[in-house]
Amino acid sequence: MKENITMASDMNDYFNKKKSQSEGFEKKSSGGGGGGNTPQMPKIDFNFGGSKAGITYFLIAIVLVLVLAKPFTIIEEGERGILSTNGKYSDQALLPGLHFILPVIQKVYIVDTKVRIINYASSIEAGGGSVASGINAKPAITVLDKRGLPVAIELTVQYRLNAQYAAQTISNWGFSWEDKIINPVARDIVRNIVGKYDAENLPQMRNTIATEIETGIRESVASLENAPADLQSIQLREIVLPPKVKEQIENVQIAKQQVQKAEQDVQRAEQEALRRAAESRGIAEKARIEAQGLADAVTIEAEARAKANNLISKSLTSDLLKLEQIQIQGKFNEALRENKDAKIFLTPGGSTPNIWVDMKDAKQKTTSVAE
């Protein structure tokens, strides 16, 4: 309050001095030139003491001082403020929000803590990225393989400033910290890892190389003091080989494909041969089973007949044979009544006639009556 009163008093003295100078100028003008036609300066009342206008002017002056000096700063989300007092950085970064500072003595530097990207690409498109947009485009990392052949590695690194140690990082590395940390580390790790392999083997070892690159970059950045960067992801996008090596790999791939095709043809031929052999075995087995079935059927039929004959022979008794002779004799007797010219031949060892010869028939047909 005392400072404000002193400032108002100084301003009144200044305006009073100006007023006296202007009054003196008017007196000189009226006394020296003669004539009432000489223009006079308008009179302004600069006496602010005890008037409302003086307070108003004083407040306006205070606002102008605040606007010009800007004793405050606003930090947005995704940012941190590095407070510098007389050129010395504070250990703790300012969080998002409104912060008051001492003009001239203190200054706040805004740093970005959002995710940023570095694209290492063989061809950088116009307008493909800028530091302000958070995307930094850089040339692909050129590496010499195990035999000294040049190989280009296209990589994408996503990272962000570690907000917890933002002040220490800026103090140690400066505002271009990412060009001093992320870029050199990425290039160094890629060269060390890819340089261990031959260019021809890089496509087959892609997953292994990608894992080794990511692990190496993370470990290198994490080993730095105060862990300045938080790595989000590291992606191996492309391995660009020399044209001759690429052509050689393509020829090898074509040869392998031809060999695989030949092997597949051989396998198909073998499978076809096995199929035909199996089919032939099946047909032969079918014929054998059918023949075996027929033989078994004949055997079964013969056995059945033998059993039937055996049963019949066992069932033939003398009384049954006599009865059969009597029945046959009766049939022949009936036949002789109708054909008296017929002749009857008896079988040897038996008295029952079993052959009938019709003498009326010129051809002498012989009819077997009974076996």
Residue type, 136: N
DSSP-derived letter for residue 114 is S
Q: Where are the beta strands (DSSP E) in the chain?
A: 72-75, 79-85, 88-89, 97-100, 106-112, 116-121, 135-139, 141-144, 150-161, 229-240, 343-346, 353-357, 366-368
> What is the pLDDT at residue 232?
93
Query: Are β-strands 353-357 and 366-368 bridged in parallel, bridged antiparallel, or unpaired?
Result: antiparallel
Sheet of 366-368, strand order: 343-346, 353-357, 366-368
How far apart CA 257 and CA 251 sit, in angstroms, is 10
How far apart CA 86 and CA 74 sit, in angstroms, is 20
> What is the pLDDT at residue 211?
94
Beta-ladder partners of 367: 356
> What is the pLDDT at residue 149?
87
Task: Judge residue 297's burial from the number of C-beta atoms within 10 Å of its C-beta, 0-12 exposed, 13-18 middle, 19 or more buried.
Answer: exposed
> What is the pLDDT at residue 27?
46
> What is the pLDDT at residue 257?
83
The tokens describing 205, both together, are: 């070892």
> What is the pLDDT at residue 360?
60
> What is the pLDDT at residue 356?
56
How far apart CA 314 and CA 311 sit, in angstroms, is 5
pLDDT means per 10 residues in the chain (371 residues)? Answer: 42 52 47 45 48 79 74 88 88 89 86 92 62 82 89 94 91 90 94 91 91 94 90 93 78 80 87 86 85 84 80 71 74 71 59 56 46 41
Is the pTM of the predicted complex or chain greater than 0.85? no
Query: Are β-strands 88-89 and 116-121 bridged in parallel, bridged antiparallel, or unpaired?
Result: unpaired
Other CB atoms within 10 A of residue 290 CB: 10
Residue 183 zone, left/alpha/beta (φ > 0; ψ -120 to 50; rest): alpha
The tokens describing 171, both together, are: 């103090």
CATH architecture classification, 116-241: 2-Layer Sandwich (3.30)
Taking alpha carbons only, the member of 329, 328, 330, 338 closest to residue 358 is 338
